[in-house]
Structure 1
Amino acid sequence: MYERILVPTDGSDCADYAVEHAIDIAEQYGAELHVLSVVDSRDVSHSAPAISPQQVEETLRERAESVVEAIADRAADAGVEAVTVVEPGIPDDVVVDYAVDNDCDLIVMGTHGRTGLERYLLGSVTERTVRRSAVPVLTVRASDE
């Protein structure tokens, strides 16, 4: 049923909880796991004047690469093949396009990564992905534990 599962991550606890589910599903179905982190272009463009946008993007990219590699290691420990990708852009646009371009059968993502005022100002990436995705989206709420 599932050959390619996409798990977008921003490195948050909620996204990490979704990763657990994605790895488990990929393991059960023998699916390839695509681990995607998006360097949000809006974060780069709103950087402090003392820091160049290139420095901000490089820092965010390095963090994202570290996150996806750590997830790939977890997947490998479970016997799941993983593809890691870090892309710039608007997160929900990149997630929806990536799923289509790579023939993903399922997207597994946390219900929210950002918190507080930031979430309300930007809206929910997960909500917009669910509304726009051509493939099923499994949303995972973070555990209270």
Structure 2
Amino acid sequence: MYERILYPTDGSEGAATAVDHVREMAGAFDATVHVLYVVDARHADYGLSGAFLADEGSGVRADPVPDDSGMLGEGGDAAETRAALTERGEEIVERAAAKVGDGGVATETAVATGTPHEAILEYADANDVDLVVMGTRGRTGIERYLLGSVTEKVVRLSDAPVVTVRADEPE
């Protein structure tokens, strides 16, 4: 039923909560998991990925990449910053793929650049993805309205079914 599962990740704890679900579903259907990271092009020129939060317990730490001045986007070249963010994305997908592949699941990794939800949808279409599995932080109210939700946009616009896994709220 599902041959290709897309697991978009930004290296956050919210995304990491979906790893077990991805692994179980891929194992059940003998599917290949495509692990995708998107460098947010809206912010990459300024040296901000928009997704880099150091989350305790996720097993994946994604720190912003400073330029030579030690500041994000100040004194550095936009192309260098984008290259550094892409390199960081490659590290994130490799770590996530290793976690997903622990149970013998086949994985493929990719790093894309663009608006996150658009890049995820484009990747899903281009790779004939059968299912998307994503973590979500479970924002509500004004925070969700102001920040938007990549997961919500993918759910609304994806041709493939989308499974969302909500991160536990801190006590």
Report the TM-score, using the length of structure 1 for normalisation: 0.89
Q: Is the 8 A contact 1:32 1:81 kept in 2?
A: yes
Q: In structure 2, what is the equivalent of residue 72 of structure 1?
A: 97
- Equivalent position of 1:35 in the other structure: 35
Residue deviations 1:59-83, cap 9 Å, x none? 2111110111112222332110000
SS in 1 for 2:113: strand
Deviates more, 1:73-82 or 1:104-113: 104-113
Retained in 2: the 8 A contact 1:3–1:29?
A: yes
- SS of match in other structure, 1:51: coil
Runs (5+) with no aligned partner, structure 1: none
Mapped to 1, the partners of 2:79 and 2:146 lie a distance apart of 24
**Aligned: 1:87 with 2:87:** no
Distance 1:113 1:40 in 2: 20
Instruction: Measure how far apart 1:56 and its partner are.
Output: 1.6
Structure 2 portions without partners, runs of 5+: 48-72
Give the helix-richer structure, 1 or 2.
Answer: 1
SS of aligned partner of 1:104: coil
Query: Considering only CA atoms, is the larger Rg found in Structure 1 or Structure 2?
Result: 2
Question: Which residue is 2:55 aligned to?
Answer: none
- How many residues are aligned here? 143
Taking the aligned partners of 1:58 and 1:27, their CA distance within structure 2 comes to 34
2-side partners of 1:20 and 1:51: how far apart? 38
Q: Against the structure 1 CA distance between its residues 15 and 76, is the aligned structure 2 distance closer, same or farther, given a 3 Å change threshold?
A: same
Which aligned segments of 4 or more residues in structure 1 are displaced greater than 3 angstroms? 117-122
Aligned counterparts of 1:113 and 1:46: Cα–Cα separation in 2 = 27
Residue number in structure 1 paired with 2:151: 126
| Root mean square deviation of aligned Cα | 2.1
> Partners in 2 of 1:118 and 1:46 — Cα distance?
23
Kindly, what percent of the aligned residue pairs are identical? 48
Q: Is the 8 A contact 2:138 2:167 kept in 1?
A: no
1:135 offset after TM fit, Å?
0.7
CA offset digits 1:1-32 (Å, max 9, x no partner): 11100000000001011122111110111100
131-140 vs 71-80, greater mean Cα deviation = 71-80
